[in-house]
Amino acid sequence: MPQRITAIVVSIVAVIALLIFGKPLLVPFAIALIIWYVIDAIALQIRRIELGGIQPFHHVSVFLALLVVVLLLSGVVQMIGDTIEQVKIAAPNYQHNVSKMLDRLASLSGVEVAPAIQHWADGLDLGRIISNIAAAIMGLAGNAGLVAIYVAFLLLEERYFGIKLRIMFPSADRYRKVNRILEAIQVQIRQYVYIKTMVSALTGIISYIILLWVGVDYAPFWALLIFMLNYIPTIGSMVAVLLPTTLALVQFDTFGPFVTLLVSLGTVQVLIGNVLEPRLMGSSLNLSPLVVILALSLWGQMWGVTGMFLSVPITVISMIVLANFPQTRAIAVAMSENGRLKDSALRTP
């Protein structure tokens, strides 16, 4: 028993060391894996399109899905670059509004603003802060070439995976059992990635409309950030609301836009995150909040900002895989919020 515990501890340490020292190669691969699943999910929906009783896009579904993803990513990179330039121009005006807001608070309360607070406000570089946020997102695409190579090889390997699997397991019963497990894992992961992406996109679109209505600067950028932060439950939703509302606080001369954004964006996050998404997702995202926090901290420490964005998708995919094997299902139950998981493929006849 002590030897087994020692082996487990050594294995965990070895995996963590591999994740830390292999970061330059593993981070692009993790991004590529998520993109591959998104392409796979979009391609599946394209294949289901019927016109006159036939499916005209069946043979080109992967190409069309890849084209959609490439166009979206290209637009994102272009938009972030434009946002950084606009921030540099508008930053001095934001600085001026911060000072005016502090003066207004002082006049309303009759209390003089503390010198330390005034000094902090004078030294606050909002342009640099927003530029850093944009640069962090750009960092996700920093290894675009390597990510593209990984995605290409994943798409190529997908064609021959079934052949390799049959050769690896010549026994018909063993092959059917393994294939059933892998198909169940594939379906659950595809469902999670597709639903999470669609829900995040819906959140971003509605938030974009609200941001335009209020008149907040860089509405497309904030909508993109809300879309990405929606992959991080609870914490991501809070940050997605606070960042654009903070900008509204320094952009406008009144508190009205700030309150409007806080209420409206918060309502969108609550309705979609707590009502719509659980209905669509079922038990695919049945993660314990403690596990979410630990995963966020762990992956953030190992892979930085990129790890924070990828922490929950990676953890969900890991839980789905663990739930489909009897030896590791107990770990998946411990990771879940209420212990209820989708039935393992081993339990299906």
Q: Is the model's pLDDT at 171 over the cut of 90?
A: no
* Surface-to-core class of residue 198, CB atoms within 10 Å of its CB (0-12 exposed, 13-18 middle, 19+ buried): middle
For residue range 234-280, list pLDDT tens digits in order.
777 788 888 888 778 777 767 788 888 889 998 998 888 878 877 77
User: Region 306-313: what's the mean pLDDT?
Assistant: 77
For residue range 182-237, list pLDDT tens digits in order.
777 777 777 777 788 888 889 989 999 999 998 888 888 888 888 888 877 677 77
Q: Which residues of 225-240 are buried (b: 16+ CB within 10 A; e: fewer)?
A: bbbbbbbbbeebbeeb
